[in-house]
Structures are given as C-alpha cells and as structure tokens.
Amino acid sequence: MKCIEVKTDPSYNVWIGSALTSQIGKLLYPIASGHRVAMITDMYVDPLYGEEVTAAIEDYGIEVQSFPIMVEEKTKNLSTVETLLRKLTQENYSKDDVILDVGGGMISDIAGMTAALFLSGIKVVHMPSTLLAMTDAAIGGKAELNLPEGKGIVGTVYQPELVVADIDMLATLPEHEIRSGMGEIMKYAVLEDSGLYNKLLNHPARTDLNDLENIIWQCAQIKAHIVEDDPAGFGNRGLVRLGHTAGQAIEAATDYSILHGEAVGLGMLVMAYGTGNRKTGDKIKALLEKYDLPTTIEWPDREIISAALFKGVEDRNYEGTYSIVVPEAIGHCVRKKVSARELTLILKKGLVAIKHGKNQSGKRHSLRSFRRARS
C-alpha cells in the first residue's frame, strides 16, 4: 500500500493498494464518525462493491445510504446533479455529512459537483474503481459536467478529503476499460516521464495488479505535483489536457461511441503529427499499438474539426485563440496558443497522417476494426 499527500489547500492523502475496500471504514472514521455517508455509485458498480463497502463502513458505526445512478456522458449533466441534491435534501443530510463516490471518472465528476453545491460544500471522498479514474480523474478536485453545447463546460475545483484506490477492483473491470485506462496512463508517460514510457513499451502491463499498482502510483505522483503547482487550472495544469483537444473532438463527433482513453491516445497522435513532430508521433503510435488501442479513425475530418472549433470550449481563449498541448518529445510537452485557422490546419494534417498510417503488422488499425475485434 502506498500513500501520496497532495499538498493543496486543503491537503489530502491518496491511498493506493490492495484490500483497501475492507479498510474504507477505518479510513473514513476520522472524518465521518458521528455523521452519515451518502454513497453515490453507478448501477454497474453498486452490485459488485456496494454491499462490501457499506459493510466495511458500518463496522465502524457509521450510517451509510446508497444512491446508485445510471452514468454515461449524456447523463453527466446538471439534471443528474439536481436529482442528487434533491435526494440529499429529502433525506435530511447536513453540512457535517460526507459524500463517498464509488465508480469511474464520471461518478467522481458528478459526486464532486454535488458535494461542492450541497449546502455550499460538504466533504467528499473518492473511491475510484477504474484504471482511468485511479490515475487521473479522482485526483486534483476537478468536477466537470456536460452541456448540449460541449463536454466539460460546467465545472469547479473542489478538493476531496481523501482518495482511496483499491486496485483489486480492477480485477472486475472489462478488458476494454483496462485498455482505455492505459490510454490515460500513456498521457502521463508522454507528458513527463520517459522512464514510464520505456517501461510501458518494453514490459507491457496487462493483468498484473502489482505492476499496475506501481504504474498508478507513478501517474498519481505526476498528477499530484501538477495540481500542487496549479490547483485552479490557470497555468501548467493545462498540460494534463494533452491529447484532449483532438480527443474530445473525436468523442463529440462520434457521439461518445469511443472510450475516453482511446480518444486521448488518438488525440496525442493527431497533435504530434499535426504539429510536425513525426518522431514523437511514431513513438506514441508504437505505444498505442502495444496495448491494442486504435491508431486511426474512420470518421469525416470536417466533423472532428468542427467539434474542436465549436465544442472545444475548454481550450478556447477570450481573444479567440485556442490553447493546445504539443508533444514535442517523450517527456517534454509545451502549451501553445493558436488561431482557429492554425488549429484547423494542425488537425487536418494530423488526421490525414493517422488515416494513412499502418500498424506493425502492415494492416490499418482503425477504431472501427478495433471495436469489431473486441465485440
């Protein structure tokens, strides 16, 4: 078991290890003793871990009430948060009570926003159940919701009291979700850690939970350091959007039929090739292929570019420019401001490059064929 202190204001610990579900009551006791816990989880995770988490907390004399919800990108919105706020009000939850979310990144977004808004803010604890959430979404306090006009437009930064990542939960995660999480892990390898890149490329982490624990810890450390330097997201925290400008555009254009980690991987590839960093792009592509992640997408370029320009609100600046993260080399990425025309040209060049790419076997490794292979 490993622990990382995230030195924000307030600071909090991120616990990473095995068998932490059985210890959640002990970890919650200092902040929840004498109060109630509202457990927000999704309807897929609740049957797997709801009873076990509840029992572990109740063993410490803490009352728990479960609020399972249906979660997908289309329901990660204000309506879902309003429903939860009304339920908490109807059940007479107070300022001293605690929200515990158990699930993936969308659950931590919804629960984090609910905690920030209920009674002007109550305590929240994240218990991520997916690889993507353990390495990224649960750390840093960002809670984002979608609007019809775009993804992540409604948001806040509201730091948790605690993050508890039980890697044993990954044993029940579908293989495609593991691969999606690897896409987010690759982002950190490209962003700040060439050693992690080499490890992932030469010693693939598939189902070895011990190996995944170390990789999650490395990524969590990188995210923690970035968040500590820029908790509100006005500076270098923007670097964690590596792969997201093109990636979220792909998600929006395809109506979220692609998993987030897949989109981030494609987004890094598009940005590397689109900015002329072909050597870096080839290295990213090699890593994506190693984990059976898509390296091309059969979708109209104009729809992806349109989504980036008109739905990419998070990257848009007040003067009409866009902030992008460029992977110039493994372990070295920079933020740049570009005009709408420049972004259009970058995306066109990058999308053309990946559509003409070949995987190591000489076959096109597209999103469409990838999905057929795993269905």
Pick the CATH number of 176-374 from 1.20.1090.10, 3.40.50.300, 1.10.3720.10, 1.10.10.60: 1.20.1090.10
Residue 312 CA to residue 301 CA, distance in Å, equals: 15
Residue 289 CA to residue 102 CA, distance in Å, equals: 31
β-pairing verdict for 63-69 and 98-103: unpaired
Per-residue confidence of the chain (375 residues) as pLDDT tens digits? Answer: 899 999 998 899 999 999 999 999 999 999 999 999 999 999 999 999 999 999 999 999 999 999 999 998 889 999 999 999 999 999 999 999 999 999 999 999 999 999 999 999 999 999 999 999 999 999 999 999 999 888 888 999 999 999 999 999 999 998 888 888 999 999 999 998 778 999 899 876 655 677 788 899 999 999 999 999 888 877 788 899 999 999 999 998 998 889 999 999 999 999 999 999 999 999 999 999 998 999 999 889 999 999 999 877 777 777 789 999 999 999 999 999 999 999 999 999 999 999 876 443 333 344 443 332 333
- Three-state SS sequence of 284-337: HHHHHHHCCCCCECCCCHHHHHHHHHHCCHHHECCCCCEEEEEEEECCEEEEEE
What pTM value is reported for the model?
0.89
Check residue 366 and report its DSSP letter.
B
What 348-352 contacts at long range (C-beta under 8 Å, 24+ apart), as own/partner pairs, is 348/274, 348/301, 348/305, 349/273, 349/274, 349/276, 350/246, 350/269, 350/270, 350/271, 350/272, 350/273, 350/274, 350/275, 351/270, 351/274, 351/297, 351/301, 351/304, 351/305, 352/301
Q: How much of the chain is helix, strand and coil, in % rounded to 5? A: 55, 20, 25
pLDDT of residue 179: 85
**C-alpha distances in Å from residue 215, one per residue of 188, 199, 282, 313:** 10, 9, 22, 31
What 340-347 contacts at long range (C-beta under 8 Å, 24+ apart), as own/partner pairs, is 340/309, 343/245, 343/308, 343/309, 344/305, 344/309, 345/274, 346/271, 346/274, 346/275, 347/246, 347/249, 347/270, 347/274, 347/301, 347/304, 347/305, 347/308
CATH class of the structural domain 2-172: alpha beta
Quick one: 45 exposed, middle or buried, by C-beta within 10 A (0-12, 13-18, 19+)?
buried
Tokens 């629960």, residue located: 111
pLDDT of residue 205: 64
Quick one: 8 exposed, middle or buried, by C-beta within 10 A (0-12, 13-18, 19+)?
middle
Check residue 339 and report its DSSP letter.
-
Q: Can you give the residue ranges of every domain in the chain?
A: 2-172, 176-374
